[in-house]
Chains A and B, each alone.
Chain A
Amino acid sequence: MSGFEARSARTSTTGALLVLEDGRTFHGEAYGAEGETFGEAVFNTGMTGYQETLTDPSYHRQVVVMTAPHIGNTGVNDEDPESKRIWVAGYVVREPARVPSNWRSRRSLDDELKAQGVVGISGIDTRALTRHLRERGAMRVGISTLETDPAKLLEKVKASAEMSGANLSEAVSTAEAYVVPAQGEKRFTVAALDLGIKDMTPQRMSERGIEVHVLPATASIDDVLAVRPDGLFFSNGPGDPAATTGQVELLRQALERDLPYFGICFGNQLFGRALGFGTYKLKYGHRGINQPVMDLTTRKVEVTAHNHGFAVDAPIDAPTETPYGTATVSHVCLNDDVVEGLELRVSTGSTTEVGKLKAFSVQYHPEAAAGPHDAAYLFDRFTTLLEENA
């Protein structure tokens, strides 16, 4: 739809109010659905990919502030969503498009937000809000087109749920297991635990000849083994890894059985916990598609897509012995030295000799939707791991 016919949806000048839990208030205009919403305020610095961001289950219960001022320019198409619905709890933009323009566009973003009941706000100083979150850290927020009194909205914000301690994967996970068939000749079977999986992830595996059995977050080790997997995969997803115990236990059981493992994002944090590391909440998280990460095994820098508010607390400079083998930090973010990847190898008992790879995970998004494709090699690494253990 390069259509001019969609124009005008933006004639509404209904006011909207945004209040942070520390009391900072912004006045703007309603965007998307009218109503009231609460969540954790986070900012995303991507200049492209709003459709993928909105439909990323990891944003469940988060109110996303877009730092790029123009949002909605390419409308909404049917190919780019990363799941079946918009997951963000609220959406904050500066300049929504009035006319979407792209050959694949089917409808305007404004209409899509309305149709899915997503409350948003536009026309506010998103840079000021971002700076505030950067300085004070992620915090709860409320957006309302109903409440005009900031003090009253603030009360509601303070009464809303916190992100720390929240176990959310089960809320976003698929209810039923389903299979994404391998493209071309089937080479491997992988059990993928859906903790908030993005559609591009099984897609990337399937492109490499992997049949992906996507399982609900509540799956047991028996459910996993029932698909006779060559490997196990844990997806990204929302919530506090420290509040997630069942899946950590599942992962430990898999590691005990030497099942090759690959994890992304939340799957990295749970891998860390399974190996005995702690996790902690970052001040304001990494959310964007321009983050420099170094693969410590090759010293190459890749520009990567991130969406994480928590991180693994593991020593970067030395390996750690765990009951499952030797764990090392494989990737770090060059901006702030946050752990971005873990590797588990067979223990050799030597400091010079490196054991065989058993499992690995990254904190960022090699499936890259949205984002650069620099880290796509990790899916190849997973395929190689499956091959070696076949």
Chain B
Amino acid sequence: MPKREDIKSVLVIGSGPIVIGQACEFDYSGTQACRVLKEEGLRVILINSNPATIMTDPEFADATYVEPITPEFVEKVIAKERPDAILPTLGGQTALNAAIAAHESGVLEKYGVEMIGASFEAIHRGENRELFNAIVHKVGGEVARSFVCHSMEEVEKAAADLGFPIVVRPSFTMGGLGSGIAYDEEDMHRIAGAGLSASPTTEVLIEESIIGWKEYELEVMRDKADNVVIICSIENFDPMGVHTGDSITVAPAMTLTDREYQHLRDLAIGIIREVGVDTGGCNIQYAVNPADGRVIVIEMNPRVSRSSALASKATGFPIAKIAAKVAVGYTLDEIPNDITKETPASFEPTLDYVVVKVPRFAFEKFPTADPTLTTHMKSVGEAMAIGRSFTEALNKALRSLENKHAPFDWASPVGDKDALLEQIKVPHDGRLQELMQAIRAGATQAEIHDATKIDPWFVDQVFLIDEVAQQVAATDTLDAGALRLAKRHGLSDAQIAAIRGLQESEVRIARQTLGVRPVFKTVDTCAAEFAAATPYYYSSYDEETEVQPRAEGKQAVIILGSGPNRIGQGIEFDYSCVHASLALAEAGYETIMVNCNPETVSTDYDTSDRLYFEPLTMEDVLEIYEAERAAGPIAGVIATLGGQTPLGLAQGLQDAGVPIVGTSPEAIDLAEERGAFGRVLADAGLVAPKHGTAVSYDEAQEIAHAIGYPVLVRPSYVLGGRGMQIVYSDQALEAYINAATEISPDRPVLVDRFIDDAVEIDVDALYDGTDLFLGGVMEHIEEAGIHSGDSSCALPPITLGNAEIARIREATTAIAKGVGVRGLINIQFALGADVLYVIEANPRASRTVPFVSKATGTQLAKAAARLMLGESIAELRVAGVLPAEGDGGTLPADSPIAVKEAVLPFNRFRTKDGQFVDTVLGPEMKSTGEVMGFDADFGTAFSKSQAAAYGPLPTSGKVFVSIADRDKRTMVFPVRVLVDYGFEILATQGTAEVLRRNGIQATVVRKHFEGKGPSGEPTVVDMILAGDIDLIVNTPHGSTTTGGANSRIDGYEIRSSAVLTGTPCITTVQGLAAAVQGIAAVRAGAIGVRSLQEWNAAAEAAR
């Protein structure tokens, strides 16, 4: 049954911005789908608001709409493109919800669009609890006893029947948002209350607790001929009670007999058939009672999921790619297995290795958040590792996390056993490490199992790791036997060194001298039954290596990826790495990717010629380098595209003789080292904000007084603004210094003048040693002081003139030259009182590279990769990689405007009391993702960015206005327009007075710091949180006098509550004017959609 001929065009829906629970795994799946559909000759139409995705690169679709994934915009795209079909199963819950909305509103029917992959009815059966439970019963399975509730009264009744603890699961939310475990009535009211409001259908499921049971997941695939295969089984190390996204998970399942596994398989097949997912993949989760094997089906996702991405990487079976093929009509037996080329996809992968995934959390960014792990996902990323045993894979995974507390530690003091056993009862980030400490403190296997309910087999494996470490400690000499034992169980050179009191390099040299080296095995889907054609490798301390020799006449380039996603280092860096790989392959190199993040496009074995799924540590990268050097010539290693992770390895690799291409490690250091960088600036006649370094409060105070408050304080060597704060007084400064635990002469605190009232500007540029290519100049819409990753910005800059851009170009050239850049550089400037300050320079790919590339139609990372390998900007202009003339600083006057808006995760974090965490934005980055609004004018682009990030701008209702004095004059006109549009105006005292004098009536509301009034009158923040405000206009009060801090924080509180409630919030008068234009456009129904291909063609035509 070949491809359907009645489908000529397909609309693929992406997943929008990266949020917790929905990360770049959907770029991976969407990119695969677009590739497949294009290869099949279909016209591919894509909608995704996230510019940092590979799938939104214009070459992956025929029409790429970087537009909000809202019902309104989806309809606009459908109306314009008239696709035959819509594929909603590869873009996470966002895509599924968008497609459901389009179905329910009749849009799909109106335009005759067929939902493929999974029908509306199938999606409904999979997601509606009652229907799903009935299906499970029908196929002979059991579900947890439960009640569907639509009100708190119903919840109370259900709890009375089931008894505590109970599990609360809201319907139709992604990543388990709003779900939790209630141990008593109070918990129940809090969690179920939030769940009812989080669910778009005001529906929660209250069910019996199966906490402590074993948890499993199967990835299932079905085609239209009803062929069903199980791609992968996954077992959670953490028993039931922890969201699978927050659990350590293992593939394949480790503790099931065949009979038990086949029972799960039979249920999975029965369920996918009954639900009716007839062309695609889904996953099904189970709980198994360890005492008697009773199986409970927890849930299914009738779509590709985070686990599908993991399963694809874990098995080599590309689920999204195959799902896209079966969606357009192929049957599984007609699709070849990519890896073997000779066998079909209608089989079940079998593994001869073990895969372990570990989550990465960001609680350090949200210090007041409750770090207890529940059924509500909190992790921001994950690392995966492959080994020939569980112990090897687990230890590799832990070191892949790049968190110095993650790998097991035998050097620290042994703690108190009872205290540790108590601590590990509750799942939290770091529990596994405490579990190991409990073992060291003498806990028995039974005690660990009793405390955690972790399966005895897994508990024993952790004991095994400890026993190996103890043997390494006890051995007289660290001989080949001892080393081999340690390495077979995954201990790193650094861990062995710590155990033996040595330096890591000493262990490495000893190990290499003794010939204890890893081999590289292939992920082949079939446990070596057939030869693999795809070089997808992992290391293991085993006997036989499988690295193939280099293709004749080829030079290789090794690209170091960015590791697990975290706040400050996410998909944007993976984007640059993928682009480098594509560009260098095109330039004739053999590309080799190293990364350990299963969510990414870079770890798709289709992306590069070779993939090493390995931790990004010095030890692991050096071994890969040696293995590849044995395979053939290597032109160099790229370390400047994957963010801080590979950058941190560059110097060490170079010292070990590895050729680092592009900007040298010395130049990277120079940009980070204040003294040297200061000299670069001085030579170029540029200024940085006044600053100093301090190792004590007294020193810091002295500097602060010399440069004047407010000051920006932060530790040295950070990424994503870790630990930064703006302080306004001695008192606050002292508190900061006292709280900073890691201050030492080696690690001083940096104290900078905070440039108040300045426009912040971000620049991405390419430099080849002679010429500069200004990629893009971004003007932040927020004032300086909010981390650039959390700010919205516009490109081209909306208020900068040619003279300012010329100054920025000159400064950028001088810095790039002074630092010695060969490739990309990102510089942050602040323009205040006509002085251009250099805030910082990073000679590497930045977070904004994909945004700039998409907004300008120029692929900066591709050009950077070729520059690093020796080509010049002039040559790249000739080669067509860069435009023949002009650059991102000389965009024509009628260029479209791109607005980037950050997306923040505050709605996922609660304190232990259940309150939302403090949402003040500041110099420390907290956002997880971004969207782009793109249109001809700033107003429309801005309204699109708001719609994509938070929801559409309102066209009626209540507007709250609070304006800084300097802006009061300019606000009158736009506010009057809002009144004309019928908005009701609320304002703070001062703003209201100004408005009244201008003939605009405004109701006065209390400021946040004033607190509730004597009769409980709400503050503006209370009103926003209550959903009483439809639009917020709040321009920051930039004063440095007393009280400045209060109003600044007031502004932050307003913005943060806007974030929590999804209320549109405008923070500049420019933004207000633009939003008014946007609202006008929305009211007129005139906002259109335009694909990147159309924009690029128009730009091409204008040249």
Contacts and interface: CB of A to CB of B under 8 A. Distances in A.
Nearest to A1: B456
Given A2-B290, A67-B352, A335-B530, A74 B347 contact: no
B455 A290 contact: no
A368 B262 contact: yes
Interface stretch (B54-62, B520-528, B608-616, B1086-1094): B520-528
Nearest to A284: B529
Interface in A55-113: 67-70, 73-74, 77, 79-80, 94-95, 97-104
A104 B257 contact: yes
A219 B1055 CA distance: 87
B1020 to A, nearest CB: 57
B347 A291 contact: yes
Contact of A68 (B352, B445, B529): B352
Contact of B456 (A48, A80, A101, A299): A101
A48 B225 contact: no
Chain A CB count within 10 A is highest, among B292, B333, B342, for B333
B257 A51 contact: yes
A67 B291 contact: no
Contacts of A98: 460, 464
B227 A300 contact: yes
Interface string A294-334: 10000111010000000000000000000000000000001
Interface in B257-273: 257-262, 265-266
B344 A335 contact: yes
B536 to A, nearest CB: 14
A179 interface: no
A288 interface: yes
B411 interface: no
Contacts of A290: 347-350, 526
A292 B446 contact: no
A303 B350 CA distance: 12
B229 interface: yes
A306 B419 CA distance: 51
B390 interface: yes
B343 interface: yes
Given A49-B258, A288-B350, A70 B390 contact: yes
Contacts of B446: 4
Interface string A348-376: 00000000000000000000111111000
A191 B1099 CA distance: 81
A336 B449 CA distance: 46
Contacts of A128: 542-544
B457 A101 contact: yes
A334 B290 CA distance: 37
Given A99-B445, A292-B333, A334 B389 contact: no
A55 to B, nearest CB: 12
A124 B343 contact: no
Interface string B345-384: 0111111111000000000000000000000000000000
Contacts of B255: 73-74, 101-102
Interface in B487-509: none
A156 interface: no
A99 B255 CA distance: 11
B811 to A, nearest CB: 56
A48 B354 contact: no
A69 B460 CA distance: 16
Nearest to B519: A125
A375 to B, nearest CB: 12
B275 to A, nearest CB: 19
A46 interface: yes
Given A7-B445, A291-B347, A334-B344, A125 B544 contact: yes
A131 interface: yes
Which of B266, B332, B530, B543 gathers the greatest number of chain A CB atoms within 10 Å? B543
Contacts of B332: 301
A182 to B, nearest CB: 22
A127 interface: yes
A186 interface: no
A67 B350 contact: yes
A379 interface: no
A177 interface: no
Nearest to B332: A301
A46 B350 CA distance: 7
A130 B258 contact: no
A45 interface: yes
B346 A45 contact: no
Nearest to A100: B457
B526 A45 contact: yes
A4 B444 contact: yes
Contacts of A289: 258, 348, 350
A259 B225 CA distance: 34
Contacts of A126: 352
A264 B550 CA distance: 46
B347 A67 contact: no
A26 B543 contact: yes
A101 B461 CA distance: 12
Contacts of A369: 258-259
Given A103-B290, A130-B528, A334-B346, A73 B254 contact: yes
A203 to B, nearest CB: 12
A100 B457 CA distance: 6
A288 B331 CA distance: 23
Contacts of B460: 4, 7, 97-99, 101
A334 B347 CA distance: 9
A136 interface: no
Interface in B217-273: 225-227, 229-230, 233, 252-262, 265-266
B584 to A, nearest CB: 31
Contacts of A381: none
Given A4-B445, A104-B293, A292 B347 contact: yes
A51 B259 CA distance: 11
Given A7-B445, A368-B262, A372-B262, A127 B542 contact: yes
Nearest to A370: B258
A47 interface: yes
B389 A335 contact: no
A134 interface: yes
B388 interface: yes
Interface string A1-25: 0111001000000000000000000
Contacts of B530: 134, 335
With a 10 A CB-CB cut-off, give which of A77, A79, A334 has the most chain B CB atoms: A334
B828 to A, nearest CB: 49
Contacts of B526: 45, 290
Interface in B455-471: 455-457, 459-460, 464
Given A4-B460, A128-B544, A288-B529, A47 B350 contact: yes
B213 to A, nearest CB: 12
A80 to B, nearest CB: 6
B350 A373 contact: no
Nearest to B214: A101
A100 B455 CA distance: 10
A94 B352 CA distance: 10
Contacts of B542: 125, 127-128
Interface of B: 225-227, 229-230, 233, 252-262, 265-266, 290-293, 331-333, 342-344, 346-354, 388-390, 444-446, 449, 455-457, 459-460, 464, 521, 526-531, 542-544
11 contacts: A48-B257, A77-B257, A95-B390, A102-B255, A102-B260, A125-B543, A127-B527, A294-B333, A303-B230, A335-B530, A373-B265
Given A51-B257, A370-B262, 9 more contacts: A3-B456, A4-B449, A51-B258, A69-B352, A73-B254, A94-B388, A130-B527, A134-B530, A292-B346
Interface of A: 2-4, 7, 26, 43, 45-49, 51-52, 67-70, 73-74, 77, 79-80, 94-95, 97-104, 124-128, 130-131, 134, 288-292, 294, 299-301, 303, 334-336, 368-373
Would you list the 5 A-B pairs with minimal beta carbon distance, nearest first?
A49-B258, A125-B543, A128-B544, A370-B258, A67-B527
